[in-house]
Amino acid sequence: MAGPRLQPLLLLLLSFALGSARQAEKNTADRIIDGVPCPRGSHPYQVALLKGNQLHCGGVLVNEEWVVTAAHCQMSDYNVYMGSFRLNSRKGQKIKATESFVHPQYSTQTHENDIMLVKLSDSAKLTSAVRKVNLPTQCDPAGTPCTVSGWGTMTSPDVTFPSELMCTNIRLITPQNCKRIYKDLLGKSMVCAGEPNSKTNACN
């Protein structure tokens, strides 16, 4: 971020809408700047990828055995936690990841196609707190409000991690407007979103 005005967030599209910001801190999840606690039960598809007991990245449950996250989150060994808005709660489900499949055209230089599938060792038990995400069938137009959720740091440049799942609201921005800011950094597999005149955002 440069200056007091936050730039719009570049989000990566999976299919039509599954987004993920680039890695915010080495071995940490994306940032939820000036977010607020998510209403309980509002994001039952939200999962956390844990390295040991430490948060590494966020993701979403797409069916009982598969999670979608960002390709830059790939590790050799991790657990997937779901079912509670608090990471230190014993109410959630923790399932070991067995395999991960990075998009074949993922680029570490441009962050194009920054998407990955993670296979769970056991099926997640679907409950009121654990649900599959509903994938959209088409792209939403610019101006559509979106909610970003996660356990990433709430402040920048200082790092402050929340004790519960945080949310912030942003809007989709036209590629033309976003390209004026990001120039060639905006790839074809990305969509731009944010609140340019607000501190509320998810960023890296």
Token reading at 52 = 């040991």
Is the pTM above the cut of 0.85? no
Domains in the chain with CATH codes: 9-194 (2.40.10.10)
Percent of the chain scoring above 90 in pLDDT: 35
Percent of the chain scoring above 70 in pLDDT: 76
Write out pLDDT tens, residues 57-115. 999 999 999 999 999 999 989 899 999 999 888 889 999 999 999 999 998 988 888 99
HSE toward the beta carbon, residue 131, CA cutoff 13 A: 9
Radius of gyration for the alpha carbons in the chain, expressed in angstroms and rounded: 16
77 three-class SS: coil
